[in-house]
Structure formats: structure tokens, C-alpha cells
Chains A and B, each alone.
Chain A
Amino acid sequence: MLPIFVIIPLGCAFLIPIASKWRKGSAQILANLAGGLLLLFSIKSIFWLKTGIKLYYLGGWKPPFGIAMALDGMTVLMLIVVNLIGCLALVYSIDYIKRYTSPALYYTLFSLLLAGLNGVVVSADLFNLFVFLEITSIASYALVAFGTEAEELEASFKYLVLGSVASILILLAIGMLLGSVSTLNMADISRSLAASSSSSKDIILYCTALFIMGFGLKTALVPFHAWLPDAHPAAPAPMSAMLSGVVIKTIGVYALCRVVFNILGFTQMISSIFIWLGIISMLVGVLLAIGQWDFKRLLAYHSISQIGYVIFGIGLGTPLGIMGGLFHLFNHSLFKSLLFLNAGSVEYSTGTRQLEKLGGLSKQMPVTSATSLIASLSIAGIPPFCGFWSKLVIIIAAFQANNIAGGVVCVLVGIITLASFLKIQKYVFIRKVEEAMAGVKEAPLYMLFSMAVLAVLCVAAGLLFLPFMDTIIKPASDALLEGLNYAGLILGT
């Protein structure tokens, strides 16, 4: 029953415009219902996977003629990430959206975003992945510009232009692959590419370059990161949490890994490209974050650096490295979403995001400051929170693969991250500012609920990391390490 992940949010997105004209508050109820159902199904998919890879042929047409959907370990990991953060961001929006004027439009766009993200993750056909990637991108461009202030429109325009260029490059690469193997099913493409003669293997080089450029732009790796520090602060806070915690991972890291590992084949050249891009992203992200005084812009720069960790871990190519990279992907979605929700809650109560104007909120907003402390310790890599274990696995994998420089850079970037988050804690929560923050109250109930659940999950993923890695992360890294055998598993021979 794989299409259920696309049916539920699409139906919700089409029902909300009619339902909200008929009765006022129905948009919230429909959207939250959809989010909850999706979360239940994605937890159930862990148990579906125990009996082997699941396939679903749309319309009854067998591949390579029809569109197929596949569920393997990597898909289960991404389904959990997408639907968990999506459900919690929807609960958070119940109170946050009161600052904006049209909730029905917001929930429609958010449901379309969820439909696109789930579709990208479940699809086993390359053009189907492209169509759902475009649905996700268009919904996110519209949601970044949702407040229609001057700065939000400017940020959305930059994001739009760069995102469209990325989509055009991805379409060009798909076109080159179609021209050389005449099929679009991912398993069939990898089988045809492996069986073709060595002169037509040049096409793999061109397609690799175009895919790394296109998906790298969506992931905000370093030469392509220019849209992220403008777009992530400008969006409303639950949308920032979704963007930074889910979207750049699904349409960036997941799609890149699926294409590079399972279709094109993971060679030494691609491994060194990933390692270099990862190291440069880590350094540039954290060094540019030191001089920022806007809360959300600082968090956006740290997103660039943490995604550098993930790409570096996956680029190492060893089983331990890939497991570390994927575990850090999961952890980053937890604590970065929590940090963006905290920033949104601070902005909701005080009306500002500038670090110089905030101060002393730890007494007046106790839940927000406690969850922010947990998230900051996680991202900086302090035991026993979740970030420590994933960074440790990546550093050990780097030293094991004889990449001493990469390991040293990881440790260094971790220390600078810790310094940067101590700055946030001091300026926003700990220092005493008497008169400006006088009447500030705690955030409303639904916002606190989302933040508390994410904080509990951060602590739980840190304490229970071994069983967690065995049940969820290990099948995901096995699915990537299968490499070109993916074709055999899907086509059944």
C-alpha cells in the first residue's frame, strides 16, 4: 500500500479550499488529521520492511513500461524524518498561524509540500522523482514568500531563480540518460548502464556532473549555498523548520544518494568530490556563522555546516561512514527543527530576532529555554545527547579511512559550533536585560507541545542510540551499499 503516502496529503490539499469556505476552522483539522495519519503509516512501514523490499506498480503496468514505487531501508528512514517533522510542524502552526491572515492557503501549500516530499521518497522511477521534486519546490517557494513583506519577497525571488536553475540542470541530466538507455525506471537504467559498452560510459561522467550540480544546489552545498541564508529566516517558523530540517535533506541528500549510489555507481572520483564538498561546506558554514546577529540567519548558516558533515560522512564510502552520515541526517532534522521552532516562539512572544535586543528570557519562557538548551548541546556534540554519537561515528570513520585532515576539520568545526551556540544561549536566555523584555510571556500551548516532543526525542535518540541504529539506520546504509545490486532486487532477478 505504498501510494497511501501520496494519496492522503494530496486529497487533503484538494479538499481544504472547499472545506474552508464551508466552515471556518476546518482547514486546521483536516491538515492535522492528514499529518497524524501519515506519521502512523510511516511508523508502520518499519514493520513492512521486515519481510523484504516492497514494490507497487501503478495502474497494474509492470516495469519497465509503468511507474513503480519501492520501499527499502533508505526510504523508511526518510519517511520517518519527513512525516515526524511534518506532523509536529503542523501542530506548531495551529497557534503560530494566527499572526498571518489566510490559514486555508497556508495549510493547502503545506499539504502539497508534504505530498511532494513523500512522493520523492517513495518513487522508484526517475521522472516521477523529478515531478514530485518540482511540486515540493513550488510549494516551498510560495511558502517562503508567505508573509509578503519586502524582505521575504526578495528572499523568495532569489530562492526561486536558483531553484529553477537546479531543476533545469536535473532535467537536462535526465534527458541525457533517456537518450542513451531509453528507459526511465531506476533499476532498468542501472542495469542498462552496466551492460553497455565502454564507449558509451562517457555519458555517466556528464550525468554525474549535472546531477551533482543540480542536487547540490537543492542541498545548499558550498559553491551553491547563496540562497539558503536569505530564504530560511524569511519563512514562517514552522516552514523554516520544515525547510532546514526536511526539504534540503529529501530533495538534496536523499535524491543525490539514490542517483549516485544505485544508478550511476559509486566510484573513487565521486567519493573524493563528496569529501571535498563536505569539508568546504563545514568550514565555510561555521566561519560565516560567527559574525551573524540575527537568530534565524545564524541557524541557517549552521545548517550549511551540518549538511557538510552528512555529505562528508556519506562520501567516505565505508559502512561506518555511511551509517554515521545517515544518523547525523536524522539527528540534524531533530535538533535543527527544534532550534527553528524555538526561534519562532521567541519571535512570537517578543517580536524581534536580533540577538542584541533579546535577553534574560530563561525566567519568563522556561519551556522554550530548556528545549533550546537541549538542542544547543545536541548540535554542539555534548554527550549524552544525540549529536555527540553521530559526530563521533563520523570522526572515527574518517580516521579509519585514512582521512586525517577530514577528521581534524570535523573536530575543529565542532568546537566552533559549540562557541557559536554558547553565544546564542548567553544573548537570548541567560544575560539580564531589565526593561525591554518586561511583559514577555511563554508561548501558547500547541507550540510548547511540539517543542517538548522534539526535545524528548533528542534525548531518547541519544540514550537509545544503539538499538535505534540497528533497526533504522543499518537497513538504510545497507540499501545504499547494495549499489548496483538494487536493480536485481527491484526487478526480481
Chain B
Amino acid sequence: MSLIVKRITKITVSLIFLYGVYIVLHGHITPGGGFAGGVIIALSFIHLVLAFGKEAALKRLNETAVSAIESLGGLLFWGIALLGLLGGVFFLNILPKGRIFHLFSSGTIVLCNIAIFLKVGAGLFAIFIALAAMRMPAEKKEGKK
């Protein structure tokens, strides 16, 4: 990719990541939530892949780490649902609800959003890396490094 794209990418990647985190954390007040924020964060990593190549992104977050984060997100969501059992019913909202329109309100919804964002972000990045690793057979002969 050309020099302009690489310079702009260095600036915008962190901004995109910050925007994704904002959408996840405010999921119970404004539209968005876990899935939308996860997609945006995965897009920041894919932005790195498109500008600098697969190795640059994998140096920051290698494949075992991606798989571990994905499983961790799933386990966190499962654990939050099981915690509701402490209150008597599966999936009950047991943390204090707080006041409406504040950041620390509405119980377990914020934690669920974080768990979903981990799983969706890591999952989409893993799908992209897996598809980018499958080179067409014609390219394989000339692209061998």
C-alpha cells in the first residue's frame, strides 16, 4: 500500500479502537452495544491488515491470543448467566440497577456487552485472518516467500 495510506492508518487505527470501546461501554444508554462495538474493534485490526499486511497485525495479537480471547468472551457470558442462578432464576439481573441514564446502571447488561464485544471482535478478526490465509493456488506459486 502507498505511503499516504500507511501514514493515515497509523493515526486512525487508535481512533477507531477508541470509538468502538465507547460504543460498547455506552450500550445501555445509546444505540449500539456488544455486537456493533465488537464489529468496529475488529475493523480496526482489519484496517491494519489491509494497510500493512497480515504479519503486522499478527505481531500485535497472535493467533493463540485471538482464540483465547474469543473463548474467554463466551465463558464470561455463560458465567454471567449462571450468576443469575444465585438470585434464583437463570439469567436474572442481580447487580444493583443504579439510576437511569448513568454509566453504572442497569445491572449485568454492561458486563454482558463487554463479554459479547470480546467474542465478536476476536471472532471476526479470526475469520478474516483465516480467509486471508487461503491463497488462490495460482498466487501460491509466485507469492512464495
Contact = CB atoms under 8 A, between A and B. Distances in A.
Contact of B89 (A13, A17, A18, A59): A59
B71 A14 contact: yes
B92 A60 contact: yes
B74 interface: yes
B71 A18 contact: yes
Main secondary structure on chain A at its contact with chain B? Answer: helix
Q: How large is the interface on A (under 10, 10 to 19, 20 to 34, 35 or more residues)?
A: 10 to 19
Interface in B65-113: 67-68, 70-72, 74-75, 78, 81-82, 84, 88-93
A343 to B, nearest CB: 32
A417 to B, nearest CB: 44
B68 A18 contact: yes
Contacts of B68: 17-18, 21
B30 interface: no
Given A21-B64, A21-B68, A59-B84, A14 B92 contact: no
Contacts of A10: 78
Interface string A52-66: 000011111000000
B82 to A, nearest CB: 7
Contacts of A57: 89
Interface in A39-75: 56-60
A205 interface: no
Contacts of A15: 71, 75
B75 A59 contact: no
A316 to B, nearest CB: 39
Interface residues of B, number: 18
Contact of B90 (A3, A13, A14, A21): A3
Interface in A1-45: 3, 7, 10-11, 13-15, 17-18, 21
Given A10-B78, A11-B78, A14-B78, A59 B71 contact: no
Q: What are the 5 closest A-B residue pairs judged by CB atoms, nearest first?
A: A14-B74, A59-B91, A60-B89, A3-B90, A17-B71
Contact of B82 (A7, A18, A59): A7
Contacts of B71: 14-15, 17-18
Contacts of B82: 7
Nearest to B72: A18
B67 A17 contact: yes
A58 B71 CA distance: 24
Interface in A321-345: none
A103 to B, nearest CB: 15
Contacts of B89: 57-60
Contacts of A56: 90
A58 B64 contact: no
Interface string B100-135: 000000000000000000000000000000000000
Contacts of B84: 59
B67 A58 contact: no
Contacts of B90: 3, 7, 56, 58-59
A21 B69 CA distance: 13
A259 B84 CA distance: 31
Interface in B48-75: 64, 67-68, 70-72, 74-75
A60 B85 CA distance: 11
Nearest to A18: B71
Nearest to B67: A17
B62 to A, nearest CB: 13
A48 B101 CA distance: 44
Nearest to A58: B91
